[in-house]
Amino acid sequence: MKSFIIGIGTELVRGFIIDTNGNYIARFLNSLGVDVLGIVNVGDDRSMLRKSLDFAYNNSDVIITTGGLGPTNDDITRECISEFANVEFVFSEEILEEIKSKFIAVHKEMPFSNKKQALIPKDGIVIKNRVGSAPGFIVNKNTKPIISLPGVPVEMAEMLENEVKSYIIGLLSDKNEKEFIVRVLGMPESKVDEIVNETFKGKRYGTIADYGIVDVIFYIKHEDYDREVEFIKETLSKKLLEEGTNPTIIFLKERDDISMNLRDAFLGKNLTLSVAESMTGGYLSQIITKAPNASKYFLGGIVSYSEVAKERTLNIKREDISKHFATSLEITKEMAENSSRIFGSDVSVAITGIAGPETDSSGKEIGTTFISIFSRKGNLTIAKEFKLAGNREKIRFSASMKAISMLMEFLDKGY
């Protein structure tokens, strides 16, 4: 099955906001085995939207649009799709009451213009909006569905995962492909690709690299999926480990965020985590808390960016900082150990180093990074030094990814 995604809104084409919806929907569709042929953004312009719908209709099996379902005059999606698909939209008192109830819940009166959002396709499927006011809908032009969702990312994602997913699955046949992802941390993309290409000649796959994470995405026919997945797991794990670099390997049926992988790993072992950050400035904690229910295992973090903060919040001794420098393996060990004691966590990870653009009083090379993990079980501390390349932001992000990789490996080895 082939699909096309259209983002609607002048704010997109003028660069006021970035189209994160297109990326999210593409990943969602790919995970179900639906090929995405293109993503296009158009402004609130009837002529351009009609041309985009024409192109998408002639080149795909299903169209997904986001945006243009609001109450204002420039929200033109309903009118354009009604005309394009020759589907009548009718007023729904039931939907109107649902919209009103959401305004009442926040002690506000519904503006008159929001009545427009109660227009729904007479011959179509209404997708209820549990988060915002505008419902989505599915209509057909001949046999091809057009799925229209709001442009607000959280609303779009909720509808996609809880309503649209089952609809798309129902459209798929056994001839379509599904994804299986092998996530590798701690090995360059070029090396991973070399190994996969040599090991699985003839298999369709792709790689995506993102600051220390390499995802190998295998495309497998539905009828062969379970058998092929087991073969890939066994064969690729062996090949990667034979390289001697000891990468962290995670197997996924969907391309989840790395934060969810970490959450599941900690919850699976019934362990809690705390964080002490210096050079990353809260970057690691931000990644960790992207996962829903992260609070079930993540107790908290301390951003001890200055030497004073390290002394006052993490109880690092001044004489230790003077002796070893704040950016050192010794200090990061203390940061991890003291963080665990402060939060009462089973495991703690600490990061310090030099992100640039200038070095610190230690004179160490920019990109020098120290990461330590402390476990209360056995009073064990593991510490590593890394040399990371790139600009300041890439170094900070890469350091966070290295910390997550170390944590996954730490848990996998059962420390």
Which DSSP symbol is given to 210? E
Report d(CA 303, CA 214) in Å as an integer. 28
The CATH number of whichever domain residue 323 belongs to comes to: 3.90.950.20
Instruction: Give 399-410 pLDDT, tens digit per residue.
Output: 998 899 899 889
User: Which amino acid, 217?
Assistant: I
Report d(CA 131, CA 139) in Å as an integer. 22
Domain count, the chain: 3
- Summarize the confidence of residues 48-66 as an average pLDDT: 96
- The number of residues making up the chain comes to 415
- Summarize the confidence of residues 302-327 as an average pLDDT: 95
The CATH number of whichever domain residue 187 belongs to comes to: 3.30.70.600
| pLDDT band, very low/low/confident/very high, at 123 (cuts 50, 70, 90) | confident
| Percent of the chain scoring above 70 in pLDDT | 97
Residues spanned by the domain of 274: 258-412
Q: Which range is least confidently modeled, 68-72, 336-340, 345-349?
A: 68-72
Q: What integer pLDDT is reported at residue 244 of this predicted model? A: 64
Claim to verify: residue 7 and residue 138 sit in the same structural domain? yes
| pLDDT band, very low/low/confident/very high, at 30 (cuts 50, 70, 90) | confident
Claim to verify: residue 24 and residue 86 sit in the same structural domain? yes
The CATH number of whichever domain residue 86 belongs to comes to: 3.40.980.10
Claim to verify: residue 268 and residue 395 sit in the same structural domain? yes
- Coil/strand/helix, residue 307: helix
Claim to verify: residue 58 and residue 132 sit in the same structural domain? yes
- Summarize the confidence of residues 203-215 as an average pLDDT: 82
Q: Final residue of a domain: which of 195, 229, 252?
A: 252
Claim to verify: residue 270 and residue 313 sit in the same structural domain? yes
Selected residue with higher pLDDT from 243 and 401: 401
pLDDT at 371 over 50: yes
Claim to verify: residue 197 and residue 124 sit in the same structural domain? no
- Summarize the confidence of residues 106-129 as an average pLDDT: 90
Q: Final residue of a domain: which of 199, 232, 252?
A: 252
Q: What integer pLDDT is reported at residue 64 of this predicted model? A: 98
pLDDT at 86 over 60: yes
DSSP 41-86: EE-S-HHHHHHHHHHHHHH-SEEEEES--SSSTT--HHHHHHHHHT
List the alpha helices (DSSP H) in 243-306: 258-268, 283-288
Claim to verify: residue 147 and residue 189 sit in the same structural domain? no
Instruction: Give 140-199 pLDDT, tens digit per residue.
Output: 999 899 999 999 999 999 999 888 998 988 887 545 677 888 988 878 889 999 999 999
Average pLDDT, rounded, for the chain: 91
Distances (CA, A) of 305 to 157, 213, 351: 35, 26, 10
pTM of the model: 0.62
- Summarize the confidence of residues 305-327 as an average pLDDT: 95
Q: What integer pLDDT is reported at residue 211 of this predicted model? A: 67
Please report, in angstroms and rounded to a whole number, the separation of the first and last CA atoms in the chain.
Answer: 45
Claim to verify: residue 229 and residue 275 sit in the same structural domain? no
Distances (CA, A) of 326 to 74, 77, 299, 375: 55, 56, 24, 22
Claim to verify: residue 38 and residue 162 sit in the same structural domain? yes
Claim to verify: residue 208 and residue 262 sit in the same structural domain? no
Distances (CA, A) of 115 to 69, 72, 147, 156: 12, 10, 21, 20
- Coil/strand/helix, residue 147: strand
- Summarize the confidence of residues 53-71 as an average pLDDT: 95
- Summarize the confidence of residues 50-66 as an average pLDDT: 96
- Summarize the confidence of residues 193-214 as an average pLDDT: 86
Q: What integer pLDDT is reported at residue 19 of this predicted model? A: 94
Q: What integer pLDDT is reported at residue 213 of this predicted model? A: 81
Report d(CA 279, CA 354) in Å as an integer. 6
CA atoms within a 13 Å half-sphere pointing along the CA-CB vector of 336: 29
Claim to verify: residue 393 and residue 248 sit in the same structural domain? no
Q: Final residue of a domain: which of 171, 186, 215?
A: 171
Residues 6+ apart with CB under 8 A from 39: 4, 5, 6, 7, 19, 22, 26
Q: What integer pLDDT is reported at residue 209 of this predicted model? A: 81
Q: What integer pLDDT is reported at residue 185 of this predicted model? A: 81
Claim to verify: residue 362 and residue 269 sit in the same structural domain? yes
